[in-house]
Amino acid sequence: MTDLVIVTKTAGVAELRFNRPEALNALDLPLARAFAAAVEDVAGDPAIRAILLSGEGRAFVAGGDVSAMAADPDKGHEVVDALLEVLNPAILALRANDAPVIAAVRGVAAGAGLSLVAGADLVVADPAAKFVMAYDQVAGVPDCGGSWFLTHRLGRTKVLDMMLTGTPMTADEAMAAGLVSCISAADMVEDEARALAAKIATGPTASFGRFRRLVDAAPATTLADQLEAERAAFVGAARSEDFREGVAAFTARRKPEFKGR
């Protein structure tokens, strides 16, 4: 049986590759379960210090599998509920984990696929990539954290424009808006994303996790509360092995060798 999510672990990097190309990696329940299991595996592996999301075939993830929802119109809500019961804990686990998440996007990232992209820390896209809400076409609403991640990344006005008009965002537009980190040639997207993940995996992973949580909290907190959160995070970081190594390497004018803890 073909793995619906191909998991590859190399030198601290875990790549989770959606593998349902005949359906543009649209999320049905089996694929959602495979993704959740893959996330549980890598999130529980202390050797993993960066996570890469990619898609097999012509697309990253083309949203939820609408055909599954249409199979029985009276039970479409049950399909949606079952999918999100599986996917939501996986989204939370990815965000809670210290390992940064990189997305490699070729083709379309739509619906839940766009949410996964927005939830990544860095995004490498091909020039022809398209980013689209798509929920207006089926009278749905953003899921998999899309309303939270995209509002954080793009702001209220742009998110509402994408939702209400259904207008796709090109790779250039996504980069200008801050959703995409860099644009690569289509045949180099995964290679560039893997190289980026490999570089990040040599960094101070626990410190990265602390920083990501500060960034997530920043839009909804006061300056005074954020200052205290920064203080607590930095004090915690200063107790780590990596901090001691970083300080020693800085004073010795050598490259630090972080262990991720």
Of residues 18 and 137, the one with the higher pLDDT is 18
Query: For the purposes of burial, counting CB atoms within 10 Å of the CB of 251, is it exposed (0-12), middle (13-18) or buried (19 or more)?
Result: exposed
Distance separating alpha carbons of residues 17 and 22, to the nearest angstrom? 14
- pLDDT of 74: 81
Find the mean pLDDT for residues 110-129: 97
Distance separating alpha carbons of residues 88 and 203, to the nearest angstrom? 28
Q: To 10 degrees, the CA torsion angle through 121, 47, 144, 186?
A: 50
Distance separating alpha carbons of residues 62 and 104, to the nearest angstrom? 14
- pLDDT of 147: 95
Which whole-number Å values give the CA distances from 52 to 63, 192, 200, in the listed order? 18, 11, 11
Q: In the numeric block, which tokens belong to residue 227?
A: 């200052």
pLDDT confidence tier of residue 67, bands split at 50, 70 and 90 = confident
Find the mean pLDDT for residues 81-97: 96
Q: Is the pLDDT assigned to residue 171 strictly greater than 80? A: yes
User: Distance between the two ends of the chain, CA-based, in angstroms?
Assistant: 37
Q: Is the pLDDT assigned to residue 2 strictly greater than 80? A: no
Find the mean pLDDT for residues 45-72: 92
Q: Domains in the chain, start-ordered, CATH in brackets?
A: 5-200 (3.90.226.10), 205-252 (1.10.12)
